[in-house]
Amino acid sequence: MELSVLNIKGEDTGRKVALDDAIFGIEPNDHAIYLDVKQYMANRRQGTHKSKERSEVSGSTRKLIRQKGGGGARRGDINSPVLVGGGRVFGPKPRDYNFKLNKKVKRLARLSALSYKAKEQNIIVMEDLHLDAPKTKAIVALTHDLKLDDKKFLMVLPAVDHTVYLSARNLQKARVINASDLNTYSVLDAGKLLFMESALPVVEKLFKAKGE
């Protein structure tokens, strides 16, 4: 699959780049995508939820009523879960939601997500963006020229570029990521993928190395 390389004004430069079919043209695996996104979301959970149980609630331990003959449920002290203000039964406790996922499954999920974007023609390749200083106006103008004003898009850079990151961070629909940090969730969450021209070789080298 070949795509035209655009300049920062959205104009065709006359050059084309070929997307590697081994990365952007595989048969997508929906289950692998599901597992990878599930793990990504699970890893983002803090897992700090906690409710107080009977032994942790502050209150007297004096037995309120006798065990039998009252006509109601048995209860001991005022911290009983039966009473309002008492401890909670089987409440949430701090836990780690992380789970293991094989590297081959994660790689398949990423390739599947990229292949979906390629099939939907939601990949744009443009010349490398170089900014002398952080300027949000520059990214706003870029999105307008590329007709991405109303679309959520992901800019894929070949390496860390704080100037571009700072320029785009105030835009609600713009996200910036390094090619080496591409993940399934970020790819699927974006409506369009905006690849810098020099980021494609980084992606190809990364996935081919993982596939060996």
How far, in Å, are 43, 96, 103, 202 from residue 100 at the CA level?
10, 12, 9, 26
Burial 5-15 (b: 16+ CB within 10 A, else e): bbebebeeeee
Query: Which residues fall within 8 angstroms of residue 209, CB to CB, at 6 or more apart?
Result: none
> What is the reported pTM?
0.81
Q: Which domains occur in the chain, in start order?
A: 2-46+98-211 (3.40.1370.10), 51-91 (no CATH)
Half-sphere exposure of 166 (CA within 13 A, CB side): 9
pLDDT digits (tens, 9 = 90+) for 14-35: 888 889 899 999 999 999 999 9
Q: 49: which 2 tokens?
A: 């939820």
User: Which residue in the block uniquely carries the two structure tokens 């980021």?
Assistant: 199
- Tokens 């713009």 belong to residue: 174
> First CA to last CA across the chain, in angstroms?
23
pLDDT single digits (tens) 103-126: 999 999 999 999 999 999 999 999
